[in-house]
Amino acid sequence: TAAVDLSCVWHNLEDMVCTWRPGENASSDTNYTLFYWFHGLKNPKKCNNYSIHQGIFGCVFNFSFPKVTNTYPAISILIRDDSEEIRPVCASKNPTTLVKPATPRQVTLSKINDEIYVEWSESDTFPENCLFYEVEYRNGDLDTAQIAKVIFHYLQLTVVENNYMSIPSIDPNSKYIFKVRAKPKPACYSSELYSDWSEEKSIGEKVDSTFYLVLIITIPLIVAVSTIILLVYLKRLKILILPPIPDPREILKRMFGEQNEDSQVSKK
């Protein structure tokens, strides 16, 4: 009857989201309740923001600390029902293993000469230098992907400024697609959870192969038609400039033929 598969994720160091499934022998009307406690709270608190989706229970509660904090207390979670027939479940979790950053926002792209510059906003909830980012980009023509990892250190802010990176030696006639995600640095947190990928952004225009195919067919056709028209035009121009010279033999033959006809008429 006890809740099973308890899983919690600490979203952006702000909200703790816990999910679980009902026990195999629990009745369908079992009303599970989640309580949590950590060092600093006088009494356990009840989670009130519940949801049920496809048979999975969930609850969200605030779990935030000042941004300057570097150590976080373990959190104890109790899931039970008012009925004595439901067995309670208690678990203790290290919150640093549950950290999942928010999706990077405000991803902007700009192109200068043969370089693309990618910029994105930095998290407001994480301490400085506690995140690194992965930027995935691919050529829209080739459908290939590359991943670039950018690690931000305090001493390297002059090298990597304002959360951006540049991609050199790009094809100016290609379309490039980018997306960014964040992951906690091991020096700050023990979590292996990445943020969700940002919305894809693109820059440049993908070359349409159909356009080139039409061009390959059309250009030779235009050249051939133009050549024929030009040859016909030149032939007519040549006739106008240099008219054909009459053949003297034809002239003499015509003259003698007319004389013979005249003599025959005179005899008659």
Joined tokens for residue 45:
């608190």
Tell me which of 3.10.105.10, 3.30.930.10, 2.60.40.10, 2.40.110.10 is the CATH number of domain 4-100. 2.60.40.10
pLDDT for res 157: 24
Domain 105-203 homologous superfamily, CATH: Immunoglobulins (2.60.40.10)
Please report, to the nearest 10 degrees, the dihedral formed by the alpha carbons of residues 249, 250, 256, 257 taken in order: 150
Q: Which two tokens stand for residue 143?
A: 């459908």
Length reported for the chain = 268
The answer to whether 206 touches 140, Cβ cutoff 8 Å, is yes
pLDDT of res. 156: 26
- Are the CB atoms for 133 and 169 separated by under 8 Å? no
The tens place of each residue's pLDDT in the chain, 268 residues long, gives 888 899 999 999 999 999 999 888 888 778 889 999 998 888 999 999 988 888 889 999 999 888 777 788 999 999 988 777 888 899 999 999 999 999 988 888 888 887 888 888 888 888 888 888 888 887 776 556 666 666 543 322 222 334 777 777 667 777 888 888 888 888 889 999 999 999 988 887 655 556 556 667 788 888 787 788 877 777 666 666 666 666 666 666 666 665 555 555 455 5
Is 4-100's fold the same as 105-203's?
A: yes
Round to whole Å and give the CA distance between 164 and 115.
13
Percent helix, strand, coil in the chain (nearest 5)? 20, 35, 45
Beta-bridge partners for 182: 133
Give domain limits for the chain: 4-100, 105-203, 215-254
